[in-house]
Each structure stands twice: as C-alpha cells, then as structure tokens.
Amino acid sequence: MKILISTDIEGVAGVYHPEQTRAGNPEYERARVLMTHEANAAIAGAFDAGATEVLVNDSHGGFRNMPPDLLDARAQAVQGKPRYLSMMAGVDQQVDAVCMIGYHSRAQGRGILAHTINSFAFTRIRFNGREMGEAGIYGALAGEYKVPVAMASGDDAFIEEHRPFFPDTVFVQTKRATGHTSGISLSPVQACSAIRAGMAAALSQSHKPRPFVLPGPLQVRIRTSSPAMADLFCQWPTLQRMEGDEIGFEAPSVEAAVRMINCLSAMSTMLR
C-alpha cells in the first residue's frame, strides 16, 4: 500500500497567525517543526496500517518548509517548486490513497488563516459554480488519478466545509476556530496522537473511500483581490473579464485548472 501525505501549515495545532507561516522569523521556525511532527504522526499511522511506501508532499508556500532530517526516515519527501501537480505532486506515482495534514478553510471561510492558494491574489474560486478551497481543488485533482482522500486534519471550519466533498474521509480536528487569527487548539502531542490514530483507522477501513471526481470541462471563476489584479491576469489572452474584479476561463480538467491558477498566482507577484 502506497500513500501520499500532503502537508500544509495553517491547520496545524498551535498555528494561528500569518507570522507563523512566513519564513524569516522565529515563530515560523517553530511552526515548521510542528508541521513536521504532524507529518511524522501521519507517516507512523500509515505504517501502523500496513503501508509499504509513503511520500510526503511539502505543500505550504515555497514547498520547502519541513527539515528533511526531521522527517520519519521511512518516508520520501516531495519538496520544491515549480511542479505541475503542486500540493498533490506524487499522486501520479501509483498511490492508493491521499492524506491531507494541516489543511484549512477556503477564502472567505470562517476558519483560522482561511484562504485559497494565494490570499494576495484570490478572494474566491469556483469550479462549475461550486466554491472551492485548496482541499476541494486538490482532492478533485487526486480524483482525476482515481485516488481517494482517506484522511484529513485541520480546524472545525475546514472539516465542516469539506465533509460534503469527502463523505467517506476520516477527519481529525486539531483546533477550533474562534476567528481568522484565533482559536482553541489541542496540544501538539494530543494532535499528533489523534492524527496517528486517525490515519491508521482510515487506512484500515474495510471499504475504500470513493475518489472525489469533477468531470470536465470546468467553468472556472476567480474573484481577484482588486480590479488591478484582474487587469494583470487578463493579459493572458484566453481569460475572460467577468466583472471588475472577476475573471473566468474554461479548463478541460482539474489538472489544467490547477496549472492555470498556479500560473496566475505566480503572475500576481508583479503587483506586490
């Protein structure tokens, strides 16, 4: 059994503030270790359930947060960018299931540090009229490879938003959101224990979760952070201006949509 673990940081126990998610300060240095501990708990749970191989995708920011020497030596690390499959890189390596660790609520959601892919550029993303967060988008990308999301962890708002996408998934709540930058968290030790148990339980179930599939073509709508951002994105000839701050395009697949969205995210740095 081969497992892919995709790890973000905003849903990690004890993480509440943007400073903890940005390199270059002591709070981030501590948070990246907490992120690594939660990844290790998921790795341990996977091997407890009989996994033979585990890939760990570092899926936050520059995709090189977790110190490789602190990761469980039984796992292989997927780090660095750019990469076509982004937060789901490794799903094309014949994996049997995906696990999402430290994930968070979508942009405009009520969870801790809620955003979708790039909080500077995007304020809302919809696929075929359905509002999507990172877990929904990348869970659907896994679905195109016929891979289900077996387990996911994060705050209560993240779980409430994403249960409809992943009804068979085992969710582990690491904290409860009381605001965008406030909440009530399990201790890191408690969170890791719950993640390890949740991962083992998810992979030991007698029935396998169904992949989350969004068949193409997809009508993608992105509400940007400003009309200036929409001006920039519409330099791309195939994009349509829907409103002053909204753009749209059609994608043949979720993978194509993801690649376009990540290109737009990279373009947005011109306006920083």
Confidence of residue 228 (pLDDT cuts 50, 70, 90): very high
pLDDT in tens, 51-92: 999 999 999 999 999 999 999 999 999 999 999 999 999 999
pLDDT in tens, 186-212: 999 999 999 999 999 999 998 889 999
113 closest CA partner among 132, 134, 96, 129? 134
The residue type of 133 is: G
The rounded distance, in Å, linking the Cα atoms of 272 and 252 is 31
CB contact at 8 A, 97 and 207: no
In the three-class reduction of DSSP (H, G, I as helix; E, B as strand; rest coil), residue 133 is classed as coil
The rounded distance, in Å, linking the Cα atoms of 169 and 244 is 38
Give me the domains of the chain, ranges plus CATH numbers.
Answer: 2-204 (3.40.50.10780), 218-271 (no CATH)
- Phi, psi for 209 (deg, rounded to 5): -60, 155
215 closest CA partner among 117, 154, 114, 146? 146
pLDDT in tens, 113-151: 999 999 999 999 999 999 999 999 999 999 999 999 999
pLDDT at 227 over 90: yes
pLDDT at 25: 92
pLDDT at 8: 98
Average pLDDT across the chain, whole number: 97
pLDDT at 142: 98
Show Cβ contacts of residue 118 under 8 Å, excluding neighbours closer than 6 positions: 265, 268
pLDDT at 208: 86
In the three-class reduction of DSSP (H, G, I as helix; E, B as strand; rest coil), residue 150 is classed as strand
| pTM to 2 decimal places | 0.96
pLDDT at 143: 98
* Alpha helix ranges (H) inside the chain: 26-48, 134-144, 156-162, 188-204, 227-233, 254-267
**Mean pLDDT on 234-262:** 97
